[in-house]
């Protein structure tokens, strides 16, 4: 710390003391908020507030006609739109659940004494950095029902692979699987940090008390990595509920509308020029995220305090 002080002093003394009332001004001025507040206010808060009005209108950007709850009624009456609503929750729950389980398992594996640990950490994390659209296109080719490499490999061992992205009953699950593939590296990383920060004395104490590996996992690793679980769940839910890039690059909501989510419905309605309906989708997504993520973060934080 002394070095930083010494670095700081020449710049401070180089300015000759003028008769300015320095001490009266706060060193933490409110106007530091200003540039960020303008950008955030104009491009995030204003549109969010405006969405609550425009969701109730028939809207062409230039003119809007108030139609009450018509857009919301339409959203929940058309099966194509309702499907997107349900899929959003299925997708978010599946991807976050899998990221917690796999992330914890891989986190434990990659913090233990294991061969090739550095390589494994790197290779699992790399997909996090790669373009989502690139990953989507790659897996769309790999998952091709007749020519794709996945079904070719399954064919070698005598399994007749399903039509991953063309079968309406599993298209959404296939996209979710790729989402997990791409995102599990981040979950693993967060769990690794959580597990490594558990003091080693705890393990020793547990061993002395004769704890087996299951007891060790259940009563030591799981509770003490709770902050990591909380982070992984929150981050993947936020990402999963608004997921768009991967679904759009793999199926565009198809076949039909069986793998649509709210975010892709918003885009489709926007493309079709139904701006009011599209904005209603945004408001529904907003409410869904608030209703799920806010209580959940409260719950997770409370559990964290109890532990």
Partner 1 sequence: MSATTTPVPRTASAPGSGGRVGGSRAALYRYGVGTLAVVASVVVFVVPFAFILLTAAMDATQASEFSFAWPRNFQLWENVVEVVQTRDYILVIAFINSVVLTLVSVTALVVLGSMVAFVLQRRVTRWTGAINFLVLSGLIMPPAIVPTIWVLQRFGLFATMPGLILVEIAFGLSFSILLFRAFISTIPRELDEAAVLDGAGPLRLFFRVVLPLLRPVMVTVVLVQSVAVFNDFQNPLYFLPGDAGATVQLTLFNFQSQNLSSYNLLFTDILLITIPMLLLFLFFNRQIVAGLTSGAVKG
Residue 217 contacts partner 1 per CB under 8 A: yes
**DSSP string for 106-151:** HHHHHHSS-TTHHHHHHHHHHHHHS-HHHHHHHHHHHT-TTT-HHH
For 53, the token pair is 């009005």
Q: Long-range CB contacts (< 8 A, 24+ apart) of 209-217?
A: 217/108
Residue 68, sorted as left (phi over 0), alpha (psi -120 to 50) or beta, turns out to be left
Query: What DSSP state is assigned to residue 261?
Result: -
Minimum distance of partner 1 from residue 244's CB (angstroms)? 5
Q: Which residues, numbered 39-68, are part of the site for partner 1 (CB under 8 A)?
A: 39-40, 42-48, 50-51, 54, 59, 61
In whole angstroms, what is the distance from residue 229 CA to residue 300 CA? 9
CA angle in degrees (0–180, nearest 5) for 185-190-196: 120
Contacts to partner 1 from residues 102-131, by CB under 8 A: 108-109, 111-117, 119-131
Please give the Cα distance from 158 to 147 (Å, whole number). Answer: 15
32 is a site residue for partner 1 (CB under 8 A): yes
Q: Give the C-alpha distances (Å, rounded to integers) separating 160 from 29, 105, 154.
A: 67, 30, 7
3-state secondary structure of 57: strand
235 sits near partner 1 (criterion: CB under 8 A): yes
Nearer to partner 1, 73 or 122 (CB): 122
Report the residue from 72, 80, 97, 286 that binds partner 1 according to the rule CB under 8 A: 286
**HSE-CB of 145 using CA atoms within 13 angstroms:** 9
Closer residue to partner 1 (CB): 93 or 125:
125
85 binds partner 1 (CB under 8 A): no
Of 9, 66, 291, 298, the one binding partner 1 (CB under 8 A) is: 9
Minimum CB–partner distance for residue 18 and partner 1 (Å):
9
Binding residues for partner 1, how many (CB under 8 A)? 120
- Considering only 19, 24, 29, 158, the residue that binds partner 1 (CB under 8 A) is 29
The CB-of-176 to partner 1 minimum distance in angstroms stands at 16
Q: Which stretch binds partner 1 (CB under 8 A): 67-75, 92-100, 160-168, 244-252?
A: 244-252
Contact mark string toward partner 1, 178..197, x via CB under 8 A = ---x----x--xx-xxx-xx
Binding mask 146-185 for partner 1 (x = CB under 8 A): -xxx--x----------------------------x----
Our finding on whether 3 is near partner 1 (CB under 8 A) is no
8 A C-beta contact, residue 132 and residue 249: yes
């Amino acid at each position: 710390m002394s070095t930083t002080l010494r670095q700081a002093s020449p710049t401070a003394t180089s300015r000759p003391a003028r008769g300015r009332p320095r001490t009266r001004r706060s060193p933490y001025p409110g106007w530091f908020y200003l540039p960020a507040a303008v950008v955030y206010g104009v491009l995030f808060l204003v549109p969010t507030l405006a969405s609550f009005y425009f969701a109730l209108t028939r809207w062409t950007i230039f003119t809007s006609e108030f139609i009450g709850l018509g857009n919301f009624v339409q959203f929940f009456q058309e099966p194509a739109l309702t499907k997107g609503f349900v899929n959003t929750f299925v997708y978010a729950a599946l991807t976050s659940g899998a990221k917690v389980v796999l992330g914890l398992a891989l986190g434990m594996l990659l913090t233990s004494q294991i061969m090739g640990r550095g390589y494994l950490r790197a290779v699992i994390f790399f997909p996090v950095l790669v373009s989502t659209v690139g990953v989507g296109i790659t897996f769309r080719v790999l998952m091709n029902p007749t020519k794709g490499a996945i079904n070719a490999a399954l064919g070698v061992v005598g399994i007749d692979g399903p039509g991953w992205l063309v079968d309406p009953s599993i298209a959404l699950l296939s996209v979710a699987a790729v989402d997990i593939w791409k995102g599990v590296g981040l979950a693993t990383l967060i769990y690794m940090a959580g597990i490594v920060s558990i003091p080693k004395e705890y393990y020793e104490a547990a061993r002395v008390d004769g704890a087996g590996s299951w007891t060790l996992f259940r009563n030591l690793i799981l509770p003490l990595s709770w902050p990591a679980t909380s982070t992984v769940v929150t981050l993947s839910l936020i990402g999963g509920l608004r997921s768009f890039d991967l679904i759009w690059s793999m199926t565009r909501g198809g076949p039909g509308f069986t793998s649509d989510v709210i975010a892709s419905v918003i885009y489709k309605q926007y493309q079709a020029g139904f701006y009011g309906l599209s904005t209603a989708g945004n408001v529904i997504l907003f409410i869904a995220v608030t209703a799920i993520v806010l209580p959940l973060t409260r719950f997770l934080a409370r559990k964290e305090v109890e532990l």
